Chain A
Amino acid sequence: DAGITQSPRYKITETGRQVTLMCHQTWSHSYMFWYRQDLGHGLRLIYYSAAADITDKGEVPDGYVVSRSKTENFPLTLESATRSQTSVYFCASSEAGRFGYTFGSGTRLTVV
């Protein structure tokens, strides 16, 4: 089905482990985004990408790494997970010239 797919839907990991959250979109949208949602903060931008091989930091990038070798994929890696990275993570995409943004279903990550 067309859309944005995030995987996994839920993830529990241990402090210090590396974990990768996947995001795949089928529209070939140029822009992709990673947000984290925490109570009292709304959604905060971690990283975004304007095209393949172009990425930039958002508001809260520390502890995260992204890559975008293909237009349709935008994985987010926590290099060494910390409890403060327990959150719900949303991937989104958008296309230049169109006003809308489409969000994935989210990944609930718990770091223990």
Chain B
Amino acid sequence: AQKITQTQPGMFVQEKEAVTLDCTYDTSDPSYGLFWYKQPSSGEMIFLIYQGSYDQQNATEGRYSLNFQKARKSANLVISASQLGDSAMYFCAMREGGYGNKLVFGAGTILRVKS
């Protein structure tokens, strides 16, 4: 079974609008971490935001927030006030168990911001 599912292969958003990228996960481990990475056309992997399974509040980093719904096993990324530079591939990933363990990635969502 897929551990990380990203159901949106591609998304469009108008500049300055908010966009939500979906991510659902599957694990039976009570301790896990959820990550979002951005991959621009240049190819590097850029860390955006992290949510631990025991964190009570949703993580936020500037224009990025993670809508963490533990019971639904979802960890959606919300980008507010989209910018042209947000056009990229976005990956959701999960680490099961302790720090340092392997990351499992979803297939990714390509986001295009329109002017």
Contact = CB atoms under 8 A, between A and B. Distances in A.
Interface stretch (A19-27, A63-71, A91-99): A91-99
Nearest to A58: B102
Contact of B104 (A31, A45, A100): A45
B44 A96 contact: no
B99 A96 contact: yes
A41 B102 contact: no
A99 B33 CA distance: 8
Interface residues of B, number: 24
Interface in B41-64: 43-45, 47, 50, 52
B36 interface: no
B43 to A, nearest CB: 5
A44 B4 CA distance: 12
Contacts of B102: 33, 45, 48, 58
Contacts of A94: 99-100
Interface in B90-113: 91, 93, 95, 98-108
B91 A98 contact: no
Contacts of A43: 91, 93, 103, 105
Interface residues of A, number: 28
Judged by DSSP, the binding face of A is: strand
Contacts of A41: 107
Contact of B107 (A42, A45, A92, A101): A42
Nearest to A44: B105
A72 to B, nearest CB: 16
B98 A96 contact: yes
A107 to B, nearest CB: 10
9 contacts: A30-B100, A41-B107, A43-B105, A50-B100, A92-B45, A94-B99, A101-B103, A106-B45, A108-B43
Interface of A: 30-31, 33, 35, 40-45, 48, 50, 58, 88, 90, 92, 94-101, 103, 105-106, 108
| The 8 residue pairs across chains A and B that have the minimum distance between CB atoms | A103-B45, A42-B105, A96-B100, A43-B105, A31-B100, A42-B107, A94-B100, A42-B108
